[in-house]
Chain A
Amino acid sequence: MKISVTVNGTLYEREVEPRTLLVYFLREALGLTGTHVGCDTSSCGVCVVVLDGDRAVKSCTMFAAMADGHDITTVEGLVQGGKLHPLQQAFWDCHGLQCGYCTPGMLMTSYALLKHQPNPDEPAIREALAGNLCRCTGYQNIVKAVQQAAAETNAPAPEPVAT
């Protein structure tokens, strides 16, 4: 079947099998290998991408066909005008990554979080990241990085929105 998907601002029209998962469409049809695969049960979150600008979704749990007519942002879409996104910069500054395998998913989940809660406190960040596993960092520096990015992006910060 034919689908039209906007990925990182570019419109793609492609033939896909109905059963093709969004993650394999991104990785194999479009060559966007920053989005990873780490489990078979929607548990690990290394495949998270952002749907329609502000929704973190696990791309292993969506068919490519479900993205027809939608807008997808992947980790490759975070750099704007050659400049790192504040989240990318903060993950680097705060040692928020080690092996780097969970990092794209962490960045995209955090990106969606900051769209909804521009100034989240630590419990809110930990809650938002609960669907993203990391085996290296113990999460502490990831939380710190999200806080740094929020502080940089949102001054003056509005009141946090309750979840």
Chain B
Amino acid sequence: MSTTAEPTPDKYSLGQSMKRKEDPRFIRGAGNFLDDIVLPGMLWLSIVHSPYPHARLVKIDKTAALAVPGVVAVLTGEDLAAHNLAWIPTFHGYDKQMILAVGKVLFQYQEVAGVIATSREIAQDAAELVDVEYEPLDPVVNPFQSREDKIILRDDRENKTNHIYHWEVGKRDATDAAIAASDVSIKERVVFQRCHPAPLEPCGIVADMDAATGRLTLYLTSQAPHAHRTVVSLVTGIPEDKIHVISPDLGGGFGNKVPVYPGYVVAAAASVVIGVPVKWIETRTENLTTTGFARDYHMDVEIGATKDGKVTALKVTTVADHGAFDAAADPTKYPAGLFGIVTGSYDFANAFTELDAYFTNKAPGGVAYRCSFRVTEASFAIERGMEILARKLNMDPAELRLKNFVKKEQFPYPSPLGFVYDSGDYHLTLRKALDMIGYDELRKEQAEKRKRGELMGIGISTFTEAVGAGPSKHFDIMGIKMFDSAEIRVHPTGSAILRAGTKSQGQGHETTWAQIAADELGLDPQNIMVEEGDTDTAPYGLGTYASRSTPVAGGAIAMAARKIREKARKIAAHLLEASVDDIEWENHAFHAKGLPGKAITMQEIAFAAYTNPAPDSEPGLEATFYYDPPNLTFPYGAYIAVVDVDPETGFVKVRRFLAIDDCGTVINPMIVEGQIHGGLTEGFAIAFMQEIAFDESGNNLNTNFTEYLVPTSLETPHWETSSTCTPSPHHPIGAKGVGESPNVGSPAAFVNAVMDALAPLGVTHIDMPLTREKVWRACREASTA
């Protein structure tokens, strides 16, 4: 009765390294990325940027630009103001940001005007002819200068201060007292530098206002298409049914494609006004200088401990640089994201952390770059702190960690800063890492090398992440709760379509989502088509970032499939002529109790659901589920880096890097390993190369890929990976999420390794990126001191 191939669920159930279903189009060059979209009559937008970081706008003269044949319009902030679009609310709604500058510019490369023309080249040529007169003002280039309030940057705000907010959690007095009373304490300022996710595909939009239907279609590089649809509706007043957001194939995202950017708004406004499609694609320079930077946290880490290495208290005090607008991408009630994970994998009696954020004359942002809302900064702070403490105690850093870990039997573990960790066995994972890398042998080798004056270092990082935002009682963005969703429709012949509110940017959802559903339903994952990114067809979801897809949408998929299975059970009972109570689901098929050998597959049930439905039951076989997770998930890992440092050149050779990850249930080991390779490479990049730096005048020094260095195949180390598996007890399939762990956990391992190598020289800390120059200078200063 069935027409598709026999299901092969055992081959494709969870835990199988199934090859990716999305790959056939990408390896043929047949992906459909934003810039591949060309619509009839489409115009191009090019943006004029400010050369000054802080200046009053005196005059904008459009005449020369408008005279260029092919130029259709030149838009300024004043033009947008007429449509109430000069400013829009920032991500969490607590601030607003300029779309095109009005009054003054607040960072170098800020968007000042937009030129709409009939071709990319004409738009770019004409943009150079827009004559803007500025009156330069003194810039504020770091948050410590900003804190003094000598120059107030935001005269549009009611409070005449550069201070944006103060946030704190934990017990201040008890923590201060415990540190003061401790046998040994450390205090170190560690800076997590400003960097940029820089996906290879920049951001872009094709906005298409259809006058005939009154619908605005936005093809958008969006990690969160539904959220963007709602934001567009709220800001413009266009009814949400008249807005259609389509996020096509995304060439990477890493948090960069979460916010709404001025280019999107200008293109959409132009399309609405002119009535034809308008395209805007960032240049790489626009990408690096104006959109979604990450980190820029200056963290003072204090730890107190007994002399035998039991930590008694942790305090972290942070100054955050948010740039010109408070556009940080964090859930509404968590202005510093999940920074409270700063106690890491350890059981500390006392902890306190506080943060103050300031405006500066830099691009706005603060996106979660391959990171669950500031857990990367927090993990770096604690893992550096533990390393510095170990040195002060003259204790092996692995031993210090083993002594302070949360114990397996303490889960679910309530942390002093308010999380309840779901599951873990930190001792097991670190011990596995130490064994696999041959830790004791490496320490012996290091001791011998030190006798010869050679600099070899071993760095450990044993991080815990908080991901999967999240439970709606805690997490929302502009009031929208951070659930996610899935809809599964099983076709009569036993294939299916699965739609979710998430949006893959390379993570492989078309494969892993099919695997989850296949395992729950006993269908062939090759015949479960996964579709995301189209707000007209997908159920509402908050999108893909912060390692939330598997913890949240992955749960929704399993639960939607289980709804289908419950209905299928009734059909099975009807077909097997048994009572529903006697129908059991085993080995991916239904069986009737007492009728061994007689099984009925989901494929047969699907056919019956359309051709022979059970009496008194609704025909068809489909379900939708909105999953609101009961808690976050807490993936963790133990990473070890081994480096050799050449003091003559400052060159750091990463000789080995081992990552043991525990992300709970693994859906597809091949994809998990790929995520870890990629995340480690980004961690390596941040530790050694990537920085968006500014000079004293506020000039951005890293505006393209010759200045903002991302690793190539030559400098990227070989990665060794392995895992332990501690399923999440509250997630429907026990999965925790993994895409960000390696980027969160690895920077501290690299820096700890280099500092360990430099320990004989007395060097305690160097801020990232550990460029050859910085390492060389540290070696040189130590040898001449």
Contact = CB atoms under 8 A, between A and B. Distances in A.
B677 interface: yes
Contacts of B30: 34, 76
What bracket does the count of chain A residues touching chain B fall in? 35 or more
B670 interface: yes
B82 interface: no
Interface in A52-105: 74-76, 78-79, 84, 88, 91-93, 95, 97-104
A99 B506 contact: yes
Interface stretch (B136-144, B332-340, B678-686): B678-686
Contacts of A131: 712
Contacts of A46: 200
A132 interface: yes
Contact of B27 (A44, A98, A107, A130): A107
Given A95-B20, A98-B506, A126-B713, A38 B201 contact: yes
A123 B80 CA distance: 54
Given A33-B36, A138-B681, A41 B706 contact: yes
B527 interface: no
Contacts of A76: 28-30
Nearest to A77: B29
A133 B38 contact: no
Interface stretch (B161-169, B244-252, B435-443, B454-462): B244-252
Given A44-B705, A100-B22, A135 B27 contact: no
Contacts of B19: 92-93, 95
Contact of B713 (A19, A35, A38, A130): A130
Nearest to A126: B713
A146 B782 CA distance: 44
Contacts of B198: 135
Contact of B35 (A37, A125, A130): A37
A159 interface: no
B283 interface: yes
Contacts of B506: 98-100, 136
A111 to B, nearest CB: 12
Nearest to B507: A98
Given A40-B284, A136-B506, A98 B678 contact: yes
A19 B121 contact: yes
A126 B640 CA distance: 24
A33 B705 CA distance: 23
A37 to B, nearest CB: 7
Interface in B19-56: 19-20, 22-31, 33, 35-36, 38
A29 to B, nearest CB: 12
Contacts of A27: 35-36
A80 to B, nearest CB: 12
A137 interface: yes
Given A33-B36, A101-B252, A138 B719 contact: yes
A85 B724 CA distance: 37
A75 B712 CA distance: 21
B716 interface: yes
B712 A39 contact: no
Nearest to B284: A39
A135 B257 CA distance: 15
B710 interface: yes
Nearest to B37: A33
Given A136-B506, A138-B680, A95 B719 contact: no
Nearest to B38: A28
Interface residues of B, number: 56
A99 B713 contact: no
Contact of B251 (A17, A19, A35, A99): A99
A140 interface: yes
Contacts of A79: 28
A152 B555 CA distance: 41
A16 to B, nearest CB: 12
B712 A98 contact: no
A32 B36 CA distance: 9
Nearest to B36: A33
Contacts of A44: 200, 284, 705
A38 B29 contact: no
Interface string A1-34: 0000000000000000101000010011000111
Contact of B28 (A24, A75, A98, A135): A75
B703 to A, nearest CB: 10
B580 to A, nearest CB: 42
B254 interface: yes
A153 interface: no
A51 interface: no
Given A34-B28, A40-B283, A143 B713 contact: yes
Nearest to A122: B718
Interface pairs A-B: 10 shortest CB-CB: A34-B29, A101-B251, A100-B26, A99-B506, A75-B29, A138-B677, A98-B506, A43-B705, A138-B681, A33-B36
20 contacts: A19-B121, A33-B35, A36-B33, A37-B35, A43-B704, A43-B705, A74-B29, A84-B28, A92-B23, A93-B19, A95-B673, A97-B23, A98-B678, A100-B22, A100-B27, A103-B27, A125-B713, A133-B200, A133-B712, A136-B506
Given A100-B22, A101-B201, A137-B674, 18 more contacts: A33-B29, A39-B284, A39-B704, A40-B283, A41-B284, A41-B704, A41-B705, A44-B200, A79-B28, A84-B28, A95-B20, A95-B671, A98-B506, A103-B29, A125-B713, A132-B713, A137-B678, A138-B677
Interface of A: 17, 19, 24, 27-28, 32-41, 43-44, 46, 74-76, 78-79, 84, 88, 91-93, 95, 97-104, 107, 125-127, 129-143
